[in-house]
Amino acid sequence: MLRGWFDAFRVDGGPTLYSNANRTPVVEDIKNILIYVTFSTLFIAFLLIFPGIRKERFSTLITVTTSLVVGATILSLENDPTSYGRSIAPVISEVLGVKMLVVADGISGTVFKLLSFNKASGAGRSVT
């Protein structure tokens, strides 16, 4: 029997239990909270200093605000605990190689060699 607005699926006044095997609580990561607090503190400090700015007030406000928002967004997205599979690193499965041009001056003249290094085989080969 329902006693209030939010009593659906509750047993003896406890938290709501759904009939799903994947029950996960809603949590916020401590790193993200620290990022929010840090950038909020920097913005409040800027707002305290802001009345003393005499030239280009509007452009300074827009620049600092945009910089802080972009920085907080990037850091919070990088430290997001639910970012599974968002990285592109596992997608790259090609063979990476390095090509260098080696110039050697000898007594008999100049020798140009193009060295190609294949990461997959770990061996370098000389191409003239």
pLDDT digits (tens, 9 = 90+) for 3-20: 666 666 666 666 666 666
Q: Is the pLDDT of residue 72 over 80?
A: yes
Residue reference for tokens 């990285």: 87
Task: Give the DSSP letter of residue 34.
Answer: H
Written as one letter, the residue type at 96 is L
Task: Give the DSSP letter of residue 5.
Answer: T
**100 phi/psi in degrees, rounded to 5:** -125, 145
Task: Give the DSSP letter of residue 8.
Answer: T
The per-residue pLDDT for 110 is: 47
pTM score of the predicted model: 0.47
Q: Distance (Å, rounded) from C-alpha 100 to C-alpha 103? A: 10
Q: Is the pLDDT of residue 92 over 60?
A: no
The per-residue pLDDT for 103 is: 53
Q: Distance (Å, rounded) from C-alpha 86 to C-alpha 94? A: 19
The per-residue pLDDT for 81 is: 66
